[in-house]
Chain A
Amino acid sequence: MTSIGRQLSIGKTDNTSDQRTPRKRLRLIPADVRESFVPVIPARAVQRQNEWDLTRIAPNRPRAEGSPIEVKGTVRNESGTLLRGALIEIWNANHHGRYRHVEDHSGLKLDENFFGIGRVITDEYGNYRFWTISPGAYLARPDIGRWRPKHIHLSISCGSSRIITQMYFPNEPNNASDPMALLMGDSFDRNLGKPYETKIPEVDQGYDFDIVVGGKNATFFE
């Protein structure tokens, strides 16, 4: 049990972080009300058949531009419990660094064959796997020339385990200046996909990304 709540840090050169990060230290939750702070997400996640493969819009459509990759790993909580049936919601920019989101006004090139949104559910051993296109980096702060490094967004929901995170790629030049990566410090390497050679002809490169959902909520009912 900690005796003091966290003071959240502001991401350097991140204007939104400056506007939205609480300035006061987080308050501690009294033990007798702690359970009320543990949302339990109902296990009724759905996944359409082709949503694990982001490299094409549908099975009979052409492959999107860029380099197809495979991402796989396990999902566990801090005590090592494998999270079965965990919903993983995935979104990433296309080869040119553009999202198909209606609020992405970057003007970067859209790819007719890339949707960039997918969904997978972990199996009985807590394993997941999906294919996507290796995302492009994009210029986040044109005024100071700061780029967002290549990344894939992942949102994981499973019972009382909940995390939204990003997987980064090793040895990318923009990793070092990313505000959130800077806040992670040495633990940034936990958010890196670990490259492996894949024998599957359909993808150029594989990345292992084992996810560990931290925090008290994830182990609260164990």
Chain B
Amino acid sequence: MTNKQQTNILLPTNEDTTGPYFPTYFSDESYEDLTQIHSGVIAGPSGQNIILRGRVLDRNGKLANGVLLEFWQANAKGIYRNPSSENHPGLDPWFDGYGRLRSTTGEYTYRTIFPGASKDRAPNITITIFSDGINRIVTQIFFADQKANEIDPLLKTLSDQDRKRLTAKYEGPSPDGADVYTLDIIMAGDNETPFFDDFLS
């Protein structure tokens, strides 16, 4: 991570709006439900199944139709599958941690496992939003009633209000035993969700 600025030699292509017509043809169920590798096989990751659902809203409180959401998280043991964890004994062979879905209406339902807390962190899921009218925006969400929320170094940088805006509410178990969490993402306006600069910072 040192001297990165000096080694960058190319000027980036500009990001652009996704437009309203990201093809549903590209949808892949295995990215919308990380708890099941495929409905026809007995295989899946370790951990407590969860359902994360909510709405993506615009400045006027209207559903942001046609959004593309991408999710990223650690496995149940808190290990991310990335180049710095290669050969880590805590990796789960059935879990990559990356998910993606396009929502026609702006409402979303994502199935995954409860993320383990990685070192000195509270359990969290990073969400990237692509949509018409904007280039990608990024946030990271947390879960209600987690003790580690109080010591999380990212949450600590935020106001009480902003912390609430990033904390998913626990709604109880679903009929099939998954823990249901809800969170609305507000793209702009009074109750705006905090977004983070992963491009420059």
Asked if B133 CB lies within 8 Å of chain A CBs, one says: yes
The distance in angstroms between the C-alpha atoms of A192 and B199, with both chains bound, is: 22
Asked if A8 CB lies within 8 Å of chain B CBs, one says: yes
Stretch at the interface among A24-32, A60-68, A126-134, A196-204: A24-32
Residue of A nearest to B96 (CB): A42
Chain A residues contacting B74 (CB-CB under 8 Å) are: 36
Asked if A174 CB lies within 8 Å of chain B CBs, one says: no
Chain A residues contacting B82 (CB-CB under 8 Å) are: 35, 38, 40, 160, 221
- Verify A165–B14 contact, CB threshold 8 A: yes
Write the B1-44 contact mask toward A (1 if CB under 8 angstroms, else 0). Answer: 10010011111111111111111111000000000000000000
Q: What band does the interface of chain A fall in when counting residues whose beta carbon is under 8 Å from B?
A: 35 or more
- Verify B17–A78 contact, CB threshold 8 A: no
Asked if A108 CB lies within 8 Å of chain B CBs, one says: no
Q: What band does the interface of chain B fall in when counting residues whose beta carbon is under 8 Å from A?
A: 35 or more
Residue of A nearest to B127 (CB): A39
The distance in angstroms between the C-alpha atoms of A219 and B5, with both chains bound, is: 11
Asked if B170 CB lies within 8 Å of chain A CBs, one says: no
- Verify A26–B84 contact, CB threshold 8 A: no
Interface residues of A (CB under 8 A from B): 1-2, 5-6, 8, 11, 14-24, 26-30, 32-42, 76-80, 89, 91, 99, 101-104, 117, 119, 153, 155, 159-160, 162-166, 180, 184, 187-188, 190-191, 211-217, 219-221
Given A2-B200, A214-B13, 17 new contacts (CB under 8 A): A6-B200, A8-B137, A11-B133, A21-B134, A22-B187, A23-B189, A27-B195, A39-B72, A78-B10, A80-B9, A101-B20, A101-B23, A103-B104, A180-B16, A213-B12, A214-B12, A220-B1
